[in-house]
């Protein structure tokens, strides 16, 4: 037996030559090291081998024999490393799942930099090169640049940092425990057997051979009652065994007969008349849901095409006839174009994962989820359990972006396996599952016609969207164009095109980025044809008060004022500047409750909400601290447990606006209660009367539920009111079905992007990004900035790199690894200027609304418009990869 030294302690290495270092480290209880890609590209598993950063997911365990290993737990063991302090101070993290890998690498870079360069500050380029083996899906790169630069310059030597993010210390030290890190005594590992054909009826499923394998504790079927699989990766059964290897052997032993059926893959094939049908009429209810809200009104459905769905059209016939007329008259102002957006995967770095455990009739499930309270309710309903017998836990969640909003297969499989095995079971998806069957933002084809009037107003708009939803329905893209740029007439039609691909899911502003990609390019094109400034045209066409202020900000930017006239450039590298607008709904959740208590002289805030990297803990702590003249760290925030007072799901950008108002109510109640129960008042002239009174207070508790908003000023309306009566109906249904309220005022973003196009190599680089945001007052300013930065970088990924690749006949997802599904790296992050306009939401208690979704909506069209400005050619299909750039420059169709 060989040994290694890990964080100074000896550790025996397994003899198995196939054992990988990451498993040895994590099985030994050091769970700060994360497994994400398993292919050496994301760096989350980085550890130091004799001081050198290596990826432990690819390194044979035996390679560490006789060497010294340092994991994240060892980096700060003797007091925080300057890099850890800098990461905390600069909020160089969000969900925190990639953070240990970044910190280990950055610490090694820092140490060698300081040894050779003293306290010089490394450049952005030097930092980017050093960290090029790491990926962050939240997009914390801006803070990481600052943190590494300042740590190297010595600014954090000997300093005890203040972190704007409450749980930052746990995340930079690797102590933060995520669902995948949970380990109970006797815990089993669950693995799911999945289909490898796109369409088949499964018969003769025989689980017995799997049950017969030593070490297998439970095998459960997962097929729906129609025994059908409708996409590659559809679940068939699940196994719980003593370890993953045994579970994999067991699923291989399960036998069944797939009766293959004709399959159809993708948007174009599925629309053909002779295409095989994915869901027969009787099976339509089995389709998944790609929308955040409840399903809409009944919609017609023919073959694989569900639609037209056009509740938000406005004088559609008139729009059609005006557009026809303009077409016949060859009106030069008529903008007509077909745009295509690509499938975007959430690619959360923590995979979908659940650990289920029964203690008698008490079910406890750790889930990597965006909705602990709702998950508890749904699990209780599904298994017929009272609410108090189900507890859902999520202390830290490694990203979600919309994909972890409902009770998923990982949770169902874990619960059913745990019940059958009578032991705790963990189910954690591998990277290929994560990048194929956990949902995605559907690709879409967007046909758009836009007609300005002779007077230069917006006269008519037509947008028809066909979304590539796989085995799911309810895409809403075109309809969202009703809520911006009022026109005389609009025809807005949505279709779902189903095929034998995994179902899509909500993704950060569902429908928003695709709609904006088409509409904002069309508005840009109209401005070019009308020979008016694109920002001024938006000012004219878009009366929203929040965006009016943002347009003024954008118009005043030097980069906008100094942009070169289009087509003045002929060299290899060409620069361009583009603008685009986005909006999202202001949503809050009814019933959201917060409890404030004093326990042992300390304030404790509690809410059954979760923090997926957005900063919910800090939002609550900041709100409470401010009211009592405390530091946020003085407030203990308890979240991540479903048995706390009910909180909102982390979706629809609703958390801040749902939890701040009841927190404010509870603050008032608590202040009154403190005064009422106080045995003596603070000494006269005390600097910290509340601190003293809290310290002296007996244990007390108050709670409050989310109140209605105040009356908004004239002209400030809910976004849905733009859509007339249908908008109001939609709002009522949303409130009734999902407890979400669309409040008055429209969260908005105007973005200006400067790009450089390398016309030889087809490479697009975003040099500078300017994002203006109107989301009210900032409950946690540094974290809001982090969210804004992350939204921009995710939008850059959408615009330039990200696409799911499929095999057109078998339906296999080919981009199932992080090498092939390409999210932006640190070097792809532009310099960023964030402008917050904090007005517009004074009627909301606290004045704050959510930021996560709106901040990513306009990024892709702003980049598209910048590329048009640079090269004089409008690209209509994202991602703008090198193959598409060089084809466009040559005037030929890309593959």
Partner 1 sequence: MSVAVMSAKPTAKPTPEFRAGGTDFSERRRSGVSQGMLIDISATGDKTITWDADGAARIGALTTIATIATDARIAAAYPGLAASAQGLATPQVRQVATLGGNLAQRSRCWYFRRADIDCLKKSGSTCPARSGNHLYGVAFDLGPCVAPHPSTMAAALLAYDASITTDRRSGLTIAGLLGDGSISHADHTLAAGEMIKSIALPAPLEGERASYKRAISRTYAEWPLVELCARVVIAGGKFELVRLAAGGVAPVPLRLTAVEAQLSGKIANAASIAEAAKAASSGAKPLPMTAYKLDLLQGLVRDVLERLSD
Long-range Cβ contact pairs of 727-732 (< 8 A, separation 24 or more): 727/312, 727/482, 727/483, 730/293, 730/296, 730/311
Nearer to partner 1, 820 or 838 (CB): 820
d(CA 12, CA 475): 53
d(CA 309, CA 668): 47
Q: What is the smallest separation between the CB atom of 685 and partner 1, expressed in angstroms? A: 58
Q: What is the smallest separation between the CB atom of 227 and partner 1, expressed in angstroms? A: 17
Identified binder of partner 1 from the candidate list 297, 324, 808, 831, rule CB under 8 A = 808
- In this structure, are strands 458-470 and 489-498 parallel, antiparallel, or unpaired? parallel
738 CB neighbour count, 10 Å cutoff: 19
Q: What is the smallest separation between the CB atom of 446 and partner 1, expressed in angstroms? A: 22
Nearer to partner 1, 499 or 815 (CB): 815
Nearer to partner 1, 456 or 882 (CB): 882
Long-range Cβ contact pairs of 219-225 (< 8 A, separation 24 or more): 219/250, 219/254, 219/420, 220/413, 220/416, 220/417, 220/420, 222/192, 222/193, 222/409, 222/412, 222/413, 224/286
Give the angle subtended at the CA of 290 by the CAs of 289 and 294, to the nearest 5°: 60
Identified binder of partner 1 from the candidate list 817, 838, 839, 872, rule CB under 8 A = 817
d(CA 798, CA 860): 7
Nearer to partner 1, 677 or 817 (CB): 817
Give residues 81-140 in contact with partner 1 (rule: CB under 8 A). 105, 128-130, 132-133
Nearer to partner 1, 250 or 720 (CB): 250
Site for partner 1 contains 252 (CB under 8 A):
yes
Site for partner 1 contains 407 (CB under 8 A):
no
First to last CA, the chain: 54
Rg over CA atoms, the chain? 27
For residue 584 the two structure tokens come to 């999202």
Nearer to partner 1, 246 or 751 (CB): 246
CA of residue 224 relative to chain centroid, distance: 29
Stretch that binds partner 1, among 533-541, 717-725, 817-825, 841-849 (CB under 8 A): 817-825
Q: What is the smallest separation between the CB atom of 773 and partner 1, expressed in angstroms? A: 26
Give residues 566-625 in contact with partner 1 (rule: CB under 8 A). none
Q: What is the smallest separation between the CB atom of 516 and partner 1, expressed in angstroms? A: 22
**β-sheet bridge partners, residue 359:** 362
Q: 54-73 mask for partner 1 (x: CB under 8 A)?
A: xx-xxxx-xx----------
Give, in order, the Cα–Cα distances in Å from 885 to each of 89, 521, 823, 872.
40, 17, 19, 12
List of residues 6+ apart from 706 with CB closer than 8 A? 588, 589, 590, 591, 592, 593, 658, 659, 661, 662
Identified binder of partner 1 from the candidate list 76, 143, 164, 233, rule CB under 8 A = 233
Q: Are 184 and 424 in contact (CB under 8 A)?
A: yes
Site for partner 1 contains 825 (CB under 8 A):
yes
Stretch that binds partner 1, among 552-560, 621-629, 810-818, 846-854 (CB under 8 A): 810-818
Q: What is the smallest separation between the CB atom of 396 and partner 1, expressed in angstroms? A: 24
**Phi, psi (deg, nearest 5) at residue 880:** -80, 75
Identified binder of partner 1 from the candidate list 6, 34, 43, 845, rule CB under 8 A = 43
Stretch that binds partner 1, among 175-183, 347-355, 581-589, 883-891 (CB under 8 A): 883-891
Give residues 253-282 in contact with partner 1 (rule: CB under 8 A). 254
Q: What is the smallest separation between the CB atom of 352 and partner 1, expressed in angstroms? A: 13
Q: Are 492 and 312 in contact (CB under 8 A)?
A: yes
d(CA 679, CA 281): 71
**Phi, psi (deg, nearest 5) at residue 218:** -160, 145
Nearer to partner 1, 382 or 572 (CB): 572
Q: What is the smallest separation between the CB atom of 216 and partner 1, expressed in angstroms? A: 13
Q: What is the smallest separation between the CB atom of 851 and partner 1, expressed in angstroms? A: 26
Q: 133-172 mask for partner 1 (x: CB under 8 A)?
A: x---------------------------------------
Stretch that binds partner 1, among 268-276, 503-511, 534-542, 824-832 (CB under 8 A): 824-832
What is the length of the chain?
Answer: 895
Q: What is the smallest separation between the CB atom of 584 and partner 1, expressed in angstroms? A: 28
d(CA 546, CA 536): 15
59 CB neighbour count, 10 Å cutoff: 19
Q: What is the smallest separation between the CB atom of 828 and partner 1, expressed in angstroms? A: 5
Count the helices and strands in the chain (H runs, E runs). 25, 35
- Reference 433, options 701, 586, 231; nearest CA is 231
Q: What is the smallest separation between the CB atom of 75 and partner 1, expressed in angstroms? A: 15
**Size of site (CB under 8 A) for partner 1:** 78
Q: What is the smallest separation between the CB atom of 807 and partner 1, expressed in angstroms? A: 5
Q: Are 802 and 821 in contact (CB under 8 A)?
A: yes
List of residues 6+ apart from 293 with CB closer than 8 A? 730, 733, 734, 737, 738, 740
Give residues 2-31 in contact with partner 1 (rule: CB under 8 A). 17-18, 20
Nearer to partner 1, 85 or 194 (CB): 194
Q: 169-208 mask for partner 1 (x: CB under 8 A)?
A: ----------------------xxxx-x------------
Q: What is the smallest separation between the CB atom of 744 and partner 1, expressed in angstroms? A: 41
Stretch that binds partner 1, among 412-420, 561-569, 637-645, 884-892 (CB under 8 A): 884-892
Site for partner 1 contains 795 (CB under 8 A):
no
- Reference 521, options 163, 268, 227, 866; nearest CA is 866
Identified binder of partner 1 from the candidate list 118, 317, 809, 831, rule CB under 8 A = 809
Site for partner 1 contains 876 (CB under 8 A):
no
Q: Helix 781-800 vs helix 859-871: angle between axes, to the nearest 10 degrees?
A: 50
Q: What is the smallest separation between the CB atom of 806 and partner 1, expressed in angstroms? A: 7
Give residues 725-764 in contact with partner 1 (rule: CB under 8 A). 758, 760-763
């Amino acid at each position: 037996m060989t040994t290694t030294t890990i964080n100074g302690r000896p550790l025996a290495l397994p003899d198995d030559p196939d054992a990988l270092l990451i498993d040895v480290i994590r099985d030994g209880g050091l769970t700060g090291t994360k497994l994400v890609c398993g292919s050496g590209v994301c760096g989350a598993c980085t550890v130091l081998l004799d001081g050198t950063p290596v990826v432990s997911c690819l390194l044979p365990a035996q390679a560490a024999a006789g060497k010294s290993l340092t994991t994240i737990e060892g980096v700060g063991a003797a007091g925080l490393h300057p890099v850890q302090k800098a990461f905390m101070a600069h909020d160089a993290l969000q969900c925190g799942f990639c953070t240990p890998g970044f910190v280990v690498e950055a610490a090694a870079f820092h140490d060698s930099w300081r040894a050779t360069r003293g306290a010089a500050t490394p450049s952005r380029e030097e930092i980017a090169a050093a960290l090029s083996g790491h990926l962050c899906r939240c997009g914390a790169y801006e803070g990481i640049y600052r943190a590494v630069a300042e740590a190297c310059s010595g600014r954090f030597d000997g300093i005890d940092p203040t972190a704007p993010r409450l749980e930052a210390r746990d995340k930079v030290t690797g102590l933060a425990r995520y669902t995948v890190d949970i380990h109970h005594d006797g815990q089993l590992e669950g693995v799911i057997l999945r289909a490898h054909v796109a369409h088949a009826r499964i018969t003769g499923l025989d689980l017995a051979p799997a049950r017969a394998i030593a070490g297998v504790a439970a095998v459960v079927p997962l097929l729906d009652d129609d025994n059908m699989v409708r996409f590659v990766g559809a679940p068939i059964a699940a196994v719980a065994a003593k370890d993953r290897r045994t579970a994999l052997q067991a699923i291989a032993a399960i036998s069944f007969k797939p009766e293959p059926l004709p399959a159809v893959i993708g948007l174009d094939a599925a629309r053909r008349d002779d295409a095989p049908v994915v869901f027969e009429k009787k099976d339509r209810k089995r389709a998944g849901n790609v929308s955040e809200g409840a399903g809409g009104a009944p919609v017609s459905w023919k073959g694989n095409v569900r639609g037209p769905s056009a509740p938000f059209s406005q004088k559609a016939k008139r729009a059609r006839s005006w557009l026809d007329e303009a077409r016949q008259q060859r009106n030069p102002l008529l903008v007509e174009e077909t745009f295509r957006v690509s499938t975007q995967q959430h690619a959360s770095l923590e995979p979908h994962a659940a650990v289920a455990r029964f203690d008698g009739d008490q079910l406890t499930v750790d889930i990597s989820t965006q909705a602990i309270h709702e998950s508890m309710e749904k699990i209780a309903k599904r298994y017929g359990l009272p609410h108090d017998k189900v507890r859902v836990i999520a202390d830290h969640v490694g990203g979600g972006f919309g994909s972890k909003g409902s009770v998923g297969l990982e949770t169902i499989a874990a619960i059913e396996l745990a019940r059958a095995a009578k032991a705790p079971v963990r189910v954690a998806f591998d990277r290929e599952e994560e990048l194929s069957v956990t949902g995605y933002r559907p690709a879409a084809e967007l046909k758009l016609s836009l007609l300005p009037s002779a007077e230069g107003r917006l006269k008519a708009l037509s947008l028809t969207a066909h979304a590539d939803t796989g085995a799911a329905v309810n895409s809403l893209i075109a309809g969202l164009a009703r809520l911006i740029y009022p026109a005389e007439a609009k025809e807005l039609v949505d279709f779902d095109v189903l095929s034998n691909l995994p179902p899509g899911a909500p993704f950060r502003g569902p429908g928003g980025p695709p709609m904006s990609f088409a509409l904002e390019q069309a508005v840009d094109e109209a401005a070019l044809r009308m020979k008016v400034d694109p920002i001024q045209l938006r000012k004219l066409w878009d009366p929203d008060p929040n965006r009016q202020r943002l347009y003024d900000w954008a118009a005043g930017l030097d980069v906008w004022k100094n942009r070169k006239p289009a087509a003045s450039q002929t060299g290899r590298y060409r620069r361009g500047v583009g603008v685009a607008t986005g909006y999202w709904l202001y949503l809050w959740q009814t019933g959201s409750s917060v409890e404030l208590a004093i326990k042992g002289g300390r304030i404790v805030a509690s809410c059954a909400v979760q923090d997926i990297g957005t900063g919910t803990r800090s939002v609550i702590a900041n709100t409470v601290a401010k009211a009592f003249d405390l530091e946020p760290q003085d407030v203990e925030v308890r979240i991540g447990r479903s048995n706390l007072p009910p909180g909102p799901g982390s979706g629809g950008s609703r958390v801040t606006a749902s939890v701040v108002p009841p927190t404010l109510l509870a603050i008032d109640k608590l202040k009154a209660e403190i005064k009422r129960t106080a045995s003596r008042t603070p000494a006269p002239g005390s600097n910290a009367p509340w601190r003293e009174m809290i310290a002296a207070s007996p244990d007390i508790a108050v709670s409050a539920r989310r109140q209605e908003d105040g009356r908004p000023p004239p002209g400030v309306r809910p976004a849905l009111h733009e859509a007339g009566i249908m908008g109001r109906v939609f709002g009522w249904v949303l409130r009734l079905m999902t407890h979400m309220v669309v409040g008055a005022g429209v969260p908005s973003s105007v973005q200006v992007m400067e790009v450089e196009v390398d016309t030889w190599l087809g490479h697009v680089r975003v040099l500078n990004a300017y994002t203006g945001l109107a989301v009210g007052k900032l409950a946690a300013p540094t974290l809001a900035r982090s969210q804004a930065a992350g939204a921009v970088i995710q939008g850059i990924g959408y615009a330039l790199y990200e696409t799911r690749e499929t095999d057109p006949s078998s339906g296999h997802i080919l981009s199932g690894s992080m090498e092939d599904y390409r999210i932006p790296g640190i070097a792809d992050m532009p310099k960023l200027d964030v402008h917050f306009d904090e007005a517009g939401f004074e009627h909301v208690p606290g004045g704050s609304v959510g930021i996560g979704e709106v901040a990513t909506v306009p990024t892709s069209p702003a980049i598209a418009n910048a590329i048009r400005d640079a090269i004089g050619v409008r690209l209509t299909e994202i991602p703008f990869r090198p193959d598409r750039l060089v084809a466009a420059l040559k005037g030929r169709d890309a593959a």
